[in-house]
Amino acid sequence: MTAGVDSPLALDALAGLWQDPPTLPVKWLYDERGSRLFDEITRLPEYYPTRRETEILTARAAEIAATTGAEMIVELGSGTSTKTRLLLDAFVAGCDPGGSRISYVPVDVSDEMLSVTAEILSADYPDLDVVPVVADFTEPGLTLPVANGPRLAVFLGGTIGNFTPDFRVEFLDRLAAALAPGDYFLLGADLIKDTGRLVAAYDDKSGVTADFNRNLIEVLRTGLDARNLYADDFEHIARWNPAEHRIEMWLRTRRDVNAWFEVLGKAWHLPAGAEIHTEISTKFEPAALAAELASVGLPAVAQWTDVAGDFLLTLACRRESP
């Protein structure tokens, strides 16, 4: 669907596409098709994070429910909420019969994925109040719905790795301010490991991640009514940045691109070999992440990895004053 000149996509395109290197916020990767492709990525043999995080949640969900006693789970970037079902099962099972109902608030920019997911969850969990919210969690003024008891904010899938270090601290600060003392935060983060495995996870043999990345060009083409802009003119690149310990995804032009954005009234020229920066996925070290959380008033109460030590779940509690 074409957006207007003052739409969020147009404003982000104006702010990012003429920069050096050109860039766009990660959220634009997640239109309806992008969200479906990401879901496919989570099942790829090379993409270990989803399986590893599932392993930890399977082992720890009951403990998380008992420790937090949360009455509301707010999940940022919930996607299909597939892994979250492990938490929902544990919270519903631990709930007092006749006591207050548990609410689940999935928050995502991908409105189609969110509404389909919320409908399925409502049918599958009659004892749960499912309240989907379409929102951009990177916007200032992050707030969480009010609850009668403790709340658990959940941020899974290693999505925290999409933030630059500066924005990560700003985001965690905002989240800590949105939480009340006694609320909890459950964070999934991917760990630093062998470069070959990391790169393979973002450049799979079947090319699904390449399609996911190139879909950004489709989002620009359809959203900004572009001429002479074709996804096939871009090659998917995934590379490890050792200084920043992160995987970076880029799109490299295969030939000169001379596109025209009707909505912006602007031309976009990229020479062959030019690179657009599309996503970062930072990898962490457990103690450093715990220190970062503690510095914003969210000290860790537990950290767990899967047996192979690939992925990390941190449960943090909002302390009295951040």
Q: Which residues bind ligand SAM (CB under 6 A)?
A: 26-27, 30, 35, 38, 42, 50, 77-79, 83, 108-110, 136-138, 156-157, 159
Residue 77 or 297 with smaller CB distance to ligand SAM: 77
Residue 161 or 268 with smaller CB distance to ligand SAM: 161
Tell the smallest beta-carbon distance from residue 73 to ligand SAM (Å).
13
List phi, psi (to 5°) of 177: -70, -30
Please report the sign of the dihedral spanned by the C-alpha atoms of residue 166, residue 170, residue 173, residue 175.
negative
88 with 117: CB under 8 angstroms?
no
Tell the smallest beta-carbon distance from residue 35 to ligand SAM (Å).
6
Residue 29 or 259 with smaller CB distance to ligand SAM: 29
Residue 157 or 297 with smaller CB distance to ligand SAM: 157
Residue 108 or 310 with smaller CB distance to ligand SAM: 108
Pairing of the two strands 102-108 and 184-190: unpaired
Distance CA 199, CA 234 (A): 19
What six digits make up the tokens of 270? 């990229």
Residue with tokens 């600060």: 173
Tell the smallest beta-carbon distance from residue 260 to ligand SAM (Å).
28
Rg (CA), the chain: 20
Distance CA 297, CA 319 (A): 6
Start-to-end Cα distance in the chain: 42
Residue 22 or 157 with smaller CB distance to ligand SAM: 157
Tell the smallest beta-carbon distance from residue 267 to ligand SAM (Å).
28
Distance CA 26, CA 219 (A): 12
Tell the smallest beta-carbon distance from residue 10 to ligand SAM (Å).
17
Distance from chain centroid for Cα 130: 20
Nearest position to ligand SAM, beta carbon = 157
Tell the smallest beta-carbon distance from residue 233 to ligand SAM (Å).
25
